Structure 1
Amino acid sequence: MMKPKNVPAAGPDMSLQEFEAERDRVCGDFADHELAKQPGQLGRSEYVLVGILLAVSFALVLLLQ
């Protein structure tokens, strides 16, 4: 994993409290990014709609054979 260039490297002289604060900040940023809806990501209602369309198209294929 590459380290971002705009974040200064933490030296070995970091205290436990500083380390835990930095860890919590990084983990919080990562969690916020993961929970945010990404571009092109479908929501729950869109998944339901796609599932219904697939079921209807499957039924039509079976009927038309």
Structure 2
Amino acid sequence: MLCCVDPEHLSEVLVDAEAAGVPTTRIGLATGDRLIVKDLLNVAVDDVGHAHRNRLPTALGAGTVNR
């Protein structure tokens, strides 16, 4: 699971994840208009948002998403 968190809420999210027994790893940082994960990924934030909103519902045949 990929979770994007505003830096001001990161500590709270990490504490909640640990309390729930969910392991976490910080893999990158989104700044400006790019999501960069080390040398593995460098994509436009708009593209990530579009994929998040549209790809899974399309793949599952849901046809709509909640916004």
Both structures adopt the same fold (TM-score exceeding 0.5):
no
Greater length-normalized contact order (CA 8 Å, ≥ 6 residues apart): 2
| Structure having the higher Rg | 1
Q: TM-score, normalised by structure 1?
A: 0.27
Structure having the larger proportion of residues in helix: 1
Structure having the larger proportion of residues in strand: 2
